[in-house]
Chain A
Amino acid sequence: MATTARPAPEHSPDAYGEHSGLWSWLSTVDHKRIGILYLYTALFFFMFGGVEAIIIRAQLGAPNQHLVSAEFYNQLFTMHGTTMIFLAIMPLSAVFFNFLIPLQIGARDVAFPRLNAFSYWVYLFGGIFITIPIFFAVAPNGGWFGYAPLTTRAYSPGINIDFWVIGLQILGISSLAAAFNFLTTIINLRAPGMTLMRMPMFTWMAFIVQVLLVLAFPVITIALVFLLFDRFFGTNFYNTVSAGADPLLWQHLFWIFGHPEVYILVLPAFGLVSEVLPTYSKKPLFGYPVMVYSGILIAVLGFGVWAHHMFAVGMGPIADTFFGLTTMLIAIPTGVKIFNWIATMAQGAIRYTTAMLFGIGLVALFTIGGISGIMHASPPADLQQTDTYFIVAHFHYVLFGGSIMGIFAGLYHYFPKITGRLMDEKLGKIHFWLTFIAMNLTFFPMHFSGMLGMPRRIYTYDSGQGWDLFNALSTAGAMIFPIAMLIFIYNFLVSRKRGEIAGSNPWGAGTLEWTIPSPPPEYNFAKIPTVTSRYPLWEGKEVDYEDARINSQEGKTAADLGIIMPYSTIKPLLVALGLIVMFCGLISSRALIGVGAALMIFSLYSWLLSPLEPEHH
């Protein structure tokens, strides 16, 4: 931890000075810059989904309001869920996958830098594609889960669901491409000595998430293909009326994807908090191997609990019992994580930085969401709670209290590594407390309105049902979020330019990414380090840590060091563009399909046949 004592280097952290301008961003294949692209895009969509939520809460603030129509309300809650899951939380996790995985394992980039750029551009274009229709009030309106047969042409004749089916298909391509890339990176680009059981916990959780993505996304791809074929080519997969299709086919396929998706959303946040809590407690993570095994167990069990989303359809006692039990079982590894975090903090020299506060916030709030989750693991209890605001309260404690709190912890913790400057801690703490209060004020009363029977997805309600007060409280809480978010954005933008210079290891953390300058040079590590422990910077022999001394040198370019870096290229963007044009053709003119396919195939061949980097001599 001696690095904290070092004077901050006199190095201008104005990142990537020699590579600036729009073209450099369009053609970048550097995992750190792609991470930054993900960061800005995902923060934008996070705020966009937030605005949708605020309109929803404004509408529900008092009984019998007509701020928005019932139809537009359907679009709002559908797009709020879809945006937050696919365009905000997953890509915010991808920010850290991109930025951190290579740094934490001692690599110079991801395994396939151009594929990485392709993933980002597909995400961006897919996000725009699925978001645009709400400005014309033709946004998807079937819920983020898009239950068929409701979403088939017979019941949803408009173009709304077409945007949803195609949009999710596009986003799935982005997620899968990224997952193959990160999975390969973690398996194959670890520095010498970086054994699996020495990997930082964030990388471990990221590793598990990539496996989940690789196995879960194909299932929703097929569910969506069936829906697409039903809507466009008249197939019968969800045609329950005249063809005898199974009304539960979609639900099974969707939730076989959908439940692992929950862990895809929350495990990265668990990983980030597992970096944050040890750093600010000055203690190694408690029970590292158990943290790894519980993460793996969560992922494995996560594939065996999907039908707890479907207790209300009447699957019979055997299925209900099985899925109730597996769901309760999954609380064990999750509880182990909670206790290990608490044990990590116990008797530590705790520093209450903003990142630490968000980390502790996750431990507290996720626990509440976890406990309400165990309540509806029991089918009889679930029959009372399903489709009420109790469920909304539950999954917001898990996804906001878990994922978002963890992501903010990660953002404050890694902001200095990304930008080279520190964020303002005073504003950060105001942001934390406002978020913490807003979160609890918004979502805690939903437990009560749900228990009193208020159903989800209704656009308004009559007074006199005991829901008025709780809804007013939830709405009041929701109005605090934008204030908190504006403070964060202000802090982010100002600190990025004028924050205090951070130096390579401002927090005295122990893992590999803190041995290199902030922001890291293009090549990350001047010398690929040899790893001997889980916290190389905490070995008490930091002065002797030769690799860290070499790697903390600043101002050297890749050329100075004779390091070969990949060429910048626009081709991944062009392939992504071709793909989008192709999909746009499905809902507009068929000729576009040909144009898009031609652009895609031409750019793809040009990409595959051009070298990644200069020849090695």
Chain B
Amino acid sequence: MPASVAHTSAPTSHHYTTLGLDSRKVAIWAFIGSECMLFVSLISTYLIYKGRSIVGPFPHETWTDPATGHVFKPILNIPVTSASTFVLLMSSLFMVLALAAVQNKEKPKHTRGERVLGNSKLWLWMTAIAGATFLGFQAFEFTSFVHEGLSIRTNLFGSSFFTLTGFHGAHVTAGVIWLVTLLAIDYRRGLGSKDSLLVDIAALYWHFVDVIWIVIFTLVYLIK
């Protein structure tokens, strides 16, 4: 009977649970399932509208405006976005290290390497900074697109592209705020292994947002 695991640590787990897991962990998985359908809807719409825009600029093709004769180059900047993708992928690594640091907070640390790896503040900062850097890249991308003549109103590509990547960016923003909140808690009272659930669910969310970006990057940027 899982009754034996009812009295573990963590703030709310003195209540009996069927799985022996904290309910927040179950809920975050349900939430991620729901979020999958959200992004599936956004990505499907983008794909349905791919190649159906009447006017440019286009993602991968050049377009000459028949009215002005102005030539628009393919608008997606794949090298720059590859860099931002790399930064976001690295943030997931930092997130893993942050969680490990919190889980092993009370373990004695002997070497300098162990102390660096066990520094939860460092890794939370790194994750948040990597997330913020990704958002900086996105802000740069959005403004340069607008300068080049693609806004959310220009064509079907513009509407579906900005909405899809904008929704993802909003999710990263929420994640960065979440990480900063965890940092604030860490500075105020120190995150210990008893708090690992708090970091664990943030990490699940963070990795999910990361995985979604890999899908978007592949389908929107890499496949022509």
Per the bound structure, the CA–CA distance linking A613 and B33 in Å amounts to 29
Interface centre among B45, B54, B159 (most CB of A within 10 A): B159
Residues of chain B with a CB closer than 8 A to A55's CB:
none
A-B pairs with beta carbons under 8 Å apart, 29 shown: A108-B15, A111-B23, A112-B23, A112-B27, A180-B30, A185-B23, A188-B26, A189-B15, A192-B2, A192-B3, A216-B37, A219-B38, A219-B41, A221-B38, A221-B41, A222-B41, A226-B45, A226-B163, A229-B159, A234-B152, A235-B152, A235-B158, A236-B159, A237-B159, A237-B160, A243-B54, A249-B48, A564-B14, A612-B12
Per the bound structure, the CA–CA distance linking A176 and B41 in Å amounts to 16
Interface centre among B31, B34, B35 (most CB of A within 10 A): B34
Residue ranges of A at the interface with B (Cβ–Cβ < 8 Å) = 108, 111-112, 176, 179-181, 183-185, 187-192, 194, 214-219, 221-223, 225-226, 229, 233-237, 242-246, 249, 253, 528, 564, 605, 611-613, 616
Per the bound structure, the CA–CA distance linking A84 and B7 in Å amounts to 45
Contact A189 B23 (CB under 8 A): yes
B contacts with A: majority SS: helix
Per the bound structure, the CA–CA distance linking A184 and B159 in Å amounts to 36
CB distance from B44 to the nearest CB of A (A): 9
B20 and chain A: residue at smallest CB distance? A188
Contact B38 A222 (CB under 8 A): yes
Interface centre among B3, B18, B23, B26 (most CB of A within 10 A): B18
Contact B37 A215 (CB under 8 A): yes
Per the bound structure, the CA–CA distance linking A152 and B26 in Å amounts to 39
Contact A218 B23 (CB under 8 A): no
Contact B34 A215 (CB under 8 A): yes
Interface residues of B in 7-51 (CB under 8 A from A): 11-12, 14-19, 21, 23, 26-27, 30-31, 33-35, 37-38, 41-42, 45, 48-49
Interface centre among A176, A244, A249 (most CB of B within 10 A): A244
Q: Which of A190, A249, A616 contacts B45 (CB 8 A)?
A: A249
Per the bound structure, the CA–CA distance linking A218 and B156 in Å amounts to 21
Per the bound structure, the CA–CA distance linking A587 and B111 in Å amounts to 60
Contact B34 A176 (CB under 8 A): yes
Knowing A184-B26, A214-B33, the reply to whether A253 touches B41 (Cβ < 8 A) is yes
Contact A245 B163 (CB under 8 A): no
**Residue B153, interface by CB 8 Å:** yes
Q: Which of B3, B11, B17, B34 contacts A611 (CB 8 A)?
A: B11
A183 and chain B: residue at smallest CB distance? B30
Residues of chain A with a CB closer than 8 A to B35's CB:
218
Interface residues of B in 27-80 (CB under 8 A from A): 27, 30-31, 33-35, 37-38, 41-42, 45, 48-49, 52-54
**Residue B1, interface by CB 8 Å:** yes
Residues of chain A with a CB closer than 8 A to B2's CB:
192
Q: Which of B1, B27, B38, B53 contacts A243 (CB 8 A)?
A: B53
Knowing A189-B23, A229-B163, the reply to whether A244 touches B54 (Cβ < 8 A) is yes
Residues of chain A with a CB closer than 8 A to B159's CB:
229, 235-237, 243
B52 and chain A: residue at smallest CB distance? A244
Contact B34 A180 (CB under 8 A): yes
Interface centre among A184, A214, A219 (most CB of B within 10 A): A184
Per the bound structure, the CA–CA distance linking A616 and B14 in Å amounts to 8
CB distance from B179 to the nearest CB of A (A): 14
Per the bound structure, the CA–CA distance linking A411 and B102 in Å amounts to 49
Binary flags per residue of B98-125, CB closer than 8 Å to A gives 1, else 0: 0000000000000000000000000000
Contact A215 B33 (CB under 8 A): yes
Closest 8 CB pairs of A and B: A222-B41, A218-B38, A235-B159, A111-B23, A218-B37, A190-B18, A184-B27, A234-B153
Residues of chain B with a CB closer than 8 A to A244's CB:
52-54, 156
Residues of chain B with a CB closer than 8 A to A245's CB:
49, 156
CB distance from A192 to the nearest CB of B (A): 5
A233 and chain B: residue at smallest CB distance? B152
Binary flags per residue of B160-195, CB closer than 8 Å to A gives 1, else 0: 100100000000000000000100000000000000
Per the bound structure, the CA–CA distance linking A528 and B15 in Å amounts to 10
**Residue B155, interface by CB 8 Å:** yes
Residues of chain A with a CB closer than 8 A to B15's CB:
108, 189
Residues of chain B with a CB closer than 8 A to A215's CB:
33-34, 37
CB distance from B33 to the nearest CB of A (A): 6
CB distance from B197 to the nearest CB of A (A): 14
Contact A214 B19 (CB under 8 A): no
Residues of chain A with a CB closer than 8 A to B18's CB:
187-190, 194
CB distance from B91 to the nearest CB of A (A): 23
CB distance from B175 to the nearest CB of A (A): 15
Residues of chain A with a CB closer than 8 A to B38's CB:
218-219, 221-222
Per the bound structure, the CA–CA distance linking A139 and B3 in Å amounts to 53
Q: Which of B33, B52, B152 contacts A229 (CB 8 A)?
A: B152
Contact B17 A188 (CB under 8 A): yes
Contact B41 A223 (CB under 8 A): yes
Contact A225 B163 (CB under 8 A): yes
CB distance from A605 to the nearest CB of B (A): 8
Per the bound structure, the CA–CA distance linking A216 and B30 in Å amounts to 13
CB distance from A71 to the nearest CB of B (A): 30
Contact A528 B16 (CB under 8 A): yes
Contact A189 B17 (CB under 8 A): yes
